[in-house]
A and B are shown apart, each in its own frame.
Chain A
């Protein structure tokens, strides 16, 4: 079967979107109940920095990939061992 590599990218984007929604809901909970405490600020800033670094880092690496190619073109064929003896 032939799959486009971009399927992986779409799945990853969907996952990142879900995580961003979760993060926004968490932050809204905090904003609703508290805005002045240093601890919550500190943890939220660290969390957001980590989140941005992970997404930014993965974007930097993934942007070098050609997403139009098919997955089967790059994966070694399962029958390569048989070809060895031909």
Chain B
């Protein structure tokens, strides 16, 4: 991952977690993709078998092939777009920061970050049958920074992620307190 292109690593900073949504969230999109493909090939087979006269004229053949090819192209592009959206939504937790990289469709990307010592509250939740079965859910991070609220969406093991973030927040606060004391002295 060339995350360094959008976020510069600070001195002494280590990446602890890099999270994406659970792969299960892609399954509905994949199901729709398969259904549209099956429909397109089924429609071609149906017309070719029961309305073969249509396929013998140039106009009929052109209309059927163009419609089916357009449907297939839109299904493939749509699914690839969904994959890109899934793949480029990344949450990075380092020893100093939390970074949120979110892709919004074709022409939008949000990158936000907050320092760990500014984190005020972290909550995690798993709601629903599939999230409970496959252990994925949301982690809400309340921060005193510019972006007040970070949401890790549909990440695997959100309770473990919350625990780990809280540990890192405590460690970072301790470090900041020690640094403040040293600078005062």
Contact = CB atoms under 8 A, between A and B. Distances in A.
Q: What DSSP secondary structure best describes chain B's contact surface?
A: helix
Contacts, number: 94
Contacts of A75: 57, 59
Interface in B41-88: 57-63, 65-66, 69-70, 72-74, 76-77, 79-81, 83-84, 87-88
B6 interface: yes
Interface residues of A, number: 40
B106 interface: yes
A10 to B, nearest CB: 11
B1 A12 contact: no
A19 to B, nearest CB: 5
Contacts of A39: 87
Interface string A50-86: 1100110110011001110101001100000000000
A2 B106 CA distance: 39
Contacts of B83: 43, 47
A66 B76 contact: no
Contact of A26 (B1, B63, B84, B109): B84
The 4 A-B residue pairs with the shortest CB-CB distance, nearest first, are A58-B69, A74-B59, A74-B57, A47-B80
